[in-house]
Amino acid sequence: MQITASMVKELRERTGLGMMDCKKALEETDGDMEQAIEQLRKSSALKAAKKAGRTTADGLLGIKVADDGSRGALVEVNIETDFAAKNEKFIAFVDNVVERVFDSADGNLETILAAGLDEERERLVQEIGENISVRRAVLLLSDGGGITSYLHGDNKKASLVNLSKGDASLGRDIAMHVTAINPMVVKSEDVPADVLDKEREIYTSQAADSGKPPEIVEKMVEGRVRKYLAEVSLVDQPFVKDPNEKVGKLLSASDNDVVEFVRFEVGEGIEVEEEDFAAEVKAQLEG
């Protein structure tokens, strides 16, 4: 059967794969569109698996908040390079991911991926030629309409903040602060005991080397612990837009409080292996 340009075009539109791959699949299946799609899906899955080992430390964040502040979604989708992160189809995929999370019941990423999203990801891997991973997602819900957000201009850092009651302007300011300063917890009492014990242990060791009496060492340690708690606790931090005012005071003035916050930064915590580019090219040529 003769393979026409319109057949190749249709297959490309239905699969998102390259022209030559589509033409070859149609030729091998004698023009049977459905068989060609099945064949491409099988071969694409194999190609995607080969790319799956590549580190995806770049990418974009996606964020969406309901107009009434009742829910908000934040996702991180990773890809290998900053150049590919600017691809329009990758950007559209990130938007799709955040929409799926936003519309879901509980933001469970595993369930969302299994409902067809992972197949879309694999098709995009083939089209762009880089590994893509939907790394994490969160869905916040609020009966009081207190959810607001802030997304940094490069779409690499973002925060969702849930206030005890709705206040869009205040919420955006707090979300901006969280994005910029990266607090660990809302209040000092929220710092995990094991984290605090570790800090106290470090400060004790440092103070012990000073040669001061034990009672002085104890005061030094507790002073440093208080300073540490103020540095990592949102309400004790100087407000990013006005360092003379604490975030806690800003909240109190509006009779509001932060119930919870979530902050994402693209690639945080991902270890990137240094690769020998010349060796990689050579390996690809030999392969």
| pTM, to two decimals | 0.77
* Per-domain residue ranges of the chain: 5-51, 58-182+251-265, 193-229
Give CA separation, 73 vs 62, 123, 161, in Å.
Answer: 8, 24, 11
**pLDDT tens-digit profile, the chain (287 residues):** 889 988 988 888 777 677 888 889 999 999 999 888 888 877 766 677 677 777 778 999 999 999 999 999 999 999 999 999 999 999 999 999 999 999 999 999 999 999 999 999 999 998 998 999 999 999 999 999 999 999 998 899 999 999 999 999 999 999 999 999 999 999 999 999 999 999 988 888 888 777 788 888 888 889 999 999 999 999 999 999 999 999 999 999 999 999 999 999 999 988 765 555 455 555 545 54
Per-residue model confidence (pLDDT) at position 274: 53
Q: Which CATH superfamily is domain 58-182+251-265 in?
A: Elongation factor Ts, dimerisation domain (3.30.479.20)
Asked if 81 and 107 count as a contact pair (C-beta separation under 8 A), the reply is: no
Q: Please provide the CATH number assigned to the domain covering 5-51.
A: 1.10.8.10
Sheet bearing 147-151, strands edge to edge? 147-151, 157-163, 258-265
Choosing among 3.90.1010, 1.10.287, 1.10.8, 1.10.286, the CATH entry for 193-229 is 1.10.286
